[in-house]
């Protein structure tokens, strides 16, 4: 067993940490929270130049040909920095979906532009029920000669306001199983009938309501096979879950370090806050919560990068890390007390993200149920 990144990955990680410390200070994070678009242009271009947007794409599509372990090294640092912006929507949800199921033409057209920082993309999946199950897909796409007409409402679509393309997951036929009859459409955000509205959410992560009101899309813009999008979609979400877990690990580690530092500096009853066993136990519980999150995430990422089956491992990582990161941020707040309750403190930036990311892509209950199925129950 080897729990470490290799030398190149360590360099990438250190480079990313230094870069984000300089280019993504908390003042930028707070500014972006108030900003409707939330994707700082200069930062996005710098990340493109560093090859980070195309990190996971093959070189023939303008990427660096990196693997999942390279990605999680970068993701940890993004989580640590509370990096705002379109990486999750564009590079992961949109880009990986295109990579997994797009035509050669679509890949050649879209992926290099994403890698170069020239295109923003997102995925419209969840609807008003907020479910990740196929049965919840009610947005319809009805065939009309060479086009499809899409009608329905999607919620929690990240970065839809600034996206150039929205991949819409819609139902094209009522199949025998809910997963059967679902198709992915690449929709131009400026298409008539498409309306995006920013939602005010706890993590300020630019989630949008996207209403499709008889939006016409050419059948040439189907991504993958008609009626068969659910498989590639699941495949994509699995990869994104691993990446998101690593982002949570990075954030949690920062919260632990901040909290530990605070307990060394803060004096109460004539001694350091951290000299009280109760506080020491809070910190120890954080350490173990993060150990578990880190190890489960790393094992899932390694198995994925080796082409091994990893559905069990991904379910375990997402279930645990979602709840562990939340616990860590709640404990962080408890350690900081009153001063952490003010908006000027950084603690709530992590607390908000932890909760948003817990419920995104599958919370603990959802993932434990997925694991139960994997265990044959």
- d(CA 292, CA 18) in angstroms, rounded, equals 26
Instruction: Show the tokens assigned to 251.
Output: 């954030």
Own/partner contacts of 186-191, CB < 8 Å, gap of 24 or more, are 186/106, 186/217, 186/221, 186/222, 186/223, 187/150, 187/212, 187/215, 187/217, 187/221, 188/164, 189/160, 189/163, 189/164, 189/165, 191/215, 191/216, 191/217
Q: Looking only at residues 223 through 282 of this chain, which bind another protein when binding is defined by CB under 8 A?
A: 256-257, 260, 263-264, 271-272, 274-277, 279-281
Using CB atoms within 10 Å of the CB of residue 105, give its burial: 0 to 12 exposed, 13 to 18 middle, 19+ buried. Answer: exposed
Residue 3 in contact with another protein, rule: CB under 8 A: yes
84 belongs to the binding site for another protein (CB under 8 A)? no
Residue 371 within binding range of another protein, rule CB under 8 A:
yes
To another protein, the closest distance from the beta carbon of 350 in angstroms equals 17
Q: What angle do CA 130, 136, 231 make, to 5 degrees?
A: 105
Q: Are 78 and 250 in contact (CB under 8 A)?
A: yes
Q: Does 291 bind another protein (CB under 8 A)?
A: yes
Smaller CB distance to another protein: residue 135 or 284? Answer: 284
Q: Is 213 in the site for another protein (CB under 8 A)?
A: no
Which residues are paired to 208 by β-bridges? Answer: 157, 198
Q: How far is the CB of 358 from another protein (least distance, A)?
A: 15
Q: How far is the CB of 256 from another protein (least distance, A)?
A: 7
Touching another protein, residues 298-357 (CB under 8 A): 298-299, 301-303, 315-316, 319-320
295 binds another protein (CB under 8 A): yes
Stretch that binds another protein, among 19-27, 49-57, 151-159, 364-372 (CB under 8 A): 364-372
Enumerate binding residues for another protein (CB under 8 A): 1-6, 69, 256-257, 260, 263-264, 271-272, 274-277, 279-281, 283-285, 287-288, 291-292, 295-296, 298-299, 301-303, 315-316, 319-320, 365, 368-369, 371-372, 375-377
């Amino acid at each position: 067993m080897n729990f470490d990144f290799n030398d190149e990955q360590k360099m990438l990680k250190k480079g990313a940490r230094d870069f984000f410390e300089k280019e993504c200070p908390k003042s930028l994070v707070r500014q972006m929270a108030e900003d409707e678009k939330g994707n700082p242009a200069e930062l996005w271009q710098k990340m493109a130049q560093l090859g980070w947007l195309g990190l996971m794409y093959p070189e023939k599509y303008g990427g660096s040909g990196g693997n999942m372990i390279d990605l999680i090294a970068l993701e940890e640092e993004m989580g640590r920095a509370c990096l705002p912006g379109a990486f999750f929507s564009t590079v992961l949800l949109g880009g990986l979906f295109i990579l997994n199921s797009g035509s050669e033409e679509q890949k050649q057209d879209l992926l290099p532009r994403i890698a170069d920082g020239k295109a923003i993309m997102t995925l419209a999946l969840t609807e008003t029920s907020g479910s990740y199950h196929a049965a919840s897909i009610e947005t319809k796409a009805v065939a009309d000669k060479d086009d499809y007409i899409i009608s329905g409402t999607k919620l929690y679509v990240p970065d839809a306001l600034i996206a150039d393309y929205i991949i819409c997951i819609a139902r094209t036929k009522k199949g025998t199983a809910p997963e059967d009859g679902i198709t992915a459409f690449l929709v131009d955000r400026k298409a008539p009938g498409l309306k995006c509205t920013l939602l005010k959410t706890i993590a300020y992560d630019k989630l949008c309501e996207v209403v499709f009101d008889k939006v016409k899309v050419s059948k040439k813009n189907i991504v993958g096979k008609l009626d068969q999008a659910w498989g590639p979609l699941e495949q994509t979400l699995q990869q994104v879950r691993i990446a998101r877990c690593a982002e949570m690990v990075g954030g949690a580690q920062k919260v632990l370090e901040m909290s530990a530092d605070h307990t060394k500096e803060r004096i109460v009853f004539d001694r350091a806050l951290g000299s009280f066993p109760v506080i020491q136990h809070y910190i120890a519980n954080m350490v173990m919560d993060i150990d578990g999150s880190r190890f489960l995430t790393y094992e899932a990422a390694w198995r994925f990068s080796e082409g091994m089956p990893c559905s069990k491992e991904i379910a375990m990582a997402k279930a645990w890390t979602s709840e562990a990161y939340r616990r860590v941020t709640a404990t962080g707040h408890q350690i900081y007390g009153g001063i952490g309750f003010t908006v000027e403190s950084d603690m709530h930036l992590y607390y908000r993200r932890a909760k948003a990311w817990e419920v995104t892509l599958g919370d603990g209950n959802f993932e434990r149920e997925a694991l139960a199925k994997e265990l044959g129950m």
